[in-house]
Structure 1
């Protein structure tokens, strides 16, 4: 048995590469649902094992509730069971999270990614109440999304020990970059699926027991990250390490001249896939940064 199998409680057995797909926009920043769906198809054609619309790369906090529902519908319709679609449904309030969760289930999503509520700090009982109410409202498996740097809420491991007792909670995507927290959580909960949420820790995540990774680099270069996963899965750790090194280089290139997410959409354009602008106040890279990004990706022989 591989040391990075999905959790025994996970009905979807989520593993491998699950990109947090982008939300495409028209030039006026209205949502381009057709291109959003086409991006999900692009990464699946690149070999990925699932898709995760409305993660951080999907700009979910910048969308209206109706737009978010439209994105989930577009991606589910396009992927149509080819790989699991685990839809981001989290919101600051439990009420809105439940609304998104029940909608995602009604349109055929396979699972739910529920980011911890953000902006207001949470205590132990607030976490439990929130996830219990989402679980009671839907029959879909729930993957907790832990990203304290963006939410302001870091789940204590004692709280996680109780969250995993909720029947529908079957996994966790960790973007804390707190390797000891993640390693100890995996060790304590073999029944759970764990996903590495940072491109800086893909190899590390697999080494400590993650079954897969949610990779922004895979939004642009799915083949590269799939190669890394498959090398590791086949026991070729030397090749997996070398590919992680290459992912570091891509990650650094995407960060040229500012935000990582602007790098993702700019690099997609350089690959010939135009997902449009980011929604304000986010923005694409300026010409100088885009040219620098292009030069770095060409040097890596990725374009």
Structure 2
């Protein structure tokens, strides 16, 4: 599937960065640096930004902070690339309120993670997305990450979701290649983005329109190069770039959860501050090891 086959009003595709939320030392949100990060990735070639995803620490922010993040990113890069804002929450009620605030802040679309913590049946999932669609006049992108939410989507449920007019696409972070392949083949109207750094190449081979890459938050050039190389038909080099992406991701994961992106950004001279507790940054020794690995890979 190419992006031309989908009915996505934003024509999402290429490389989408799930941008970070920056914090001051006291863990209050640093909106100026949050916006500057969206500019950082845009200036290095990405095709869209996704504030308030997993990398944006959305679950650790309150409603007002979330709205402020969306507003700051829209003010910085809105109109230049699509801004698709994460609005997911445990309840449909709060997801709808978040979606309304994101729309008011100027987002071009919203990303709705499947509700988490409580088990969700198929009808609950469909009702959830229908209520968000009824509340706002923006395209909706489902976010499928069962390893974090505890709630996967069946192929049958996804097909019914695709019939909701506002549902334009999906970010799949399941790392389930057969599920992803079936989802793309069975739902040609959906713009499907691969959410795993390990599957950026494979997701494109299967027919996805592009990918959401955590690594692109710190090293956007690498992921943009992979996408452009794949689009140009140089599959051997695209595979080599995916191999490098595996190694970079492994280096990021050597530290605490989510610490790799902000650590690598610091190595590039971009200070995004701490993660919000209980998440934490790498130690100085860990960041030095990260620097050594990234230099050896030739990506710094």
Q: Which residue of 2 aligns with 1:256?
A: 254
Q: Which residue of 1 aligns with 2:287?
A: 290
Alpha-carbon distance between aligned partners in 1 of 2:299 and 2:166, rounded to the nearest angstrom: 40
Segments of 5+ residues of structure 2 without an aligned counterpart are none
* Cα pair 1:262 1:284 within 8 Å, conserved: yes
Please state if 1:273 is matched with 2:270.
yes
Q: Which residue of 1 aligns with 2:297?
A: 300
Alpha-carbon distance between aligned partners in 1 of 2:44 and 2:177, rounded to the nearest angstrom: 28
Instruction: Measure how far apart 1:80 and its partner are.
Output: 2.2
* Cα pair 2:67 2:105 within 8 Å, conserved: no
Misfit runs of 4+, over 4 Å: none
Q: Which residue of 2 aligns with 1:11?
A: 9
Query: 3-state DSSP class of the match of 1:56?
Result: coil
Q: Normalization by structure 2: what TM-score?
A: 0.98
Q: How does 1:100-249 map to 2 (within 5 A)?
A: 100-249=98-247
Instruction: Measure how far apart 1:6 and its partner are.
Output: 5.3
Alpha-carbon distance between aligned partners in 1 of 2:159 and 2:299, rounded to the nearest angstrom: 42
Q: Deviations over 1:134-153 (max 9, x none)?
A: 00001100000000000000
Alpha-carbon distance between aligned partners in 2 of 1:180 and 1:301, rounded to the nearest angstrom: 33
* Cα pair 1:17 1:226 within 8 Å, conserved: yes
Alpha-carbon distance between aligned partners in 1 of 2:217 and 2:264, rounded to the nearest angstrom: 10
Instruction: Measure how far apart 1:235 and its partner are.
Output: 0.9
> Which sits farther off after the overlay, 244-253 or 200-209?
244-253
Segments of 5+ residues of structure 1 without an aligned counterpart are none
Instruction: Measure how far apart 1:8 and its partner are.
Output: 2.3
Alpha-carbon distance between aligned partners in 1 of 2:73 and 2:217, rounded to the nearest angstrom: 14
Instruction: Measure how far apart 1:107 and its partner are.
Output: 1.8
Q: Which residue of 1 aligns with 2:57?
A: 59
Q: Deviations over 1:223-273 (max 9, x none)?
A: 1100100001111111111111111111111112332x1011011001100
